[in-house]
Amino acid sequence: MIHLDTHALVWLYAGDLSRFPERVRNAFESDDLVVSPAAVLETQYLNEIGRISVPATTVVEHLASSIGVQVSDAPFYEVITEALLQSWTRDPFDRMITANARVEKARLATKDAGLLDNCSWAFWG
C-alpha cells in the first residue's frame, strides 16, 4: 500500500506522470494507492485559493474510478494520536498525512524534502 501526499494526488489527477521518478511510477503499478482524508482536505484548500481548478471530490472520484485510488479509512483518533508524535513540523496537513501512512504501515509517496528527511516510510527518487 502506498499513500499519496497531496501534490502526488494532484499530479496523478492531472495525468502528469513525468513529475514522478521511475521508482515511484513502478511502485504505483504494483501497490494499492491510498490517500489520507487530510490530503483530500488540503486538495480542497488548493482549489479554494485558486491553485487548482477542480474541487477535491472531483480529483478523488476521478482517480478512484480510473485507477482505483482509495481514501483511507484508518480510525481518525489513531491517526491523530500518531500525528501528535510528528513534532518535527507545525504543518497540520503534513502531520496527519504522514501519521495516516504510519498507522496503516504504508509507504508515503512524496517529493517534500521535510517529509523525506523526517519519515522513514516516505520515499521518492
DSSP 21: -
3-state helix, strand, coil in the chain (%, to 5): 55, 10, 35
d(C-alpha 34, C-alpha 4), whole Å: 6
Q: What is the number of structural domains in the chain? A: 1
The residues, ordered by sequence, that sit 6+ positions from 58 with a Cβ below 8 Å of its Cβ are: none
Residue 36 has pLDDT above 90, yes or no: yes
Using one digit for the tens of pLDDT, what is the confidence trace for 80-117?
999 999 999 999 999 999 999 999 999 999 999 999 99
Q: Which domain range does residue 65 map to?
A: 2-123
Mean pLDDT value across the chain: 97
Predicted TM-score of the model (pTM): 0.95
Pairing mode of beta strands 2-4, 107-109: parallel
Dihedral sign of CA atoms 99, 100, 101, 105 in order? positive
pLDDT of 125: 85
Q: Which residues share a beta bridge with 35? A: 4, 71
Q: Taking residues 52-65, what's their average pLDDT?
A: 98
CATH number at residue 68: 3.40.50.1010
Q: Contact at 8 Å (CB) between 114 and 55?
A: no
- Rounded distance between C-alpha atoms, residue 3 and residue 32, angstroms: 9
Phi, psi of 117 (to 5 degrees): -75, -25
Q: How far apart are CA 62 and CA 56, in angstroms?
A: 10
Residue 101: the pLDDT is: 98
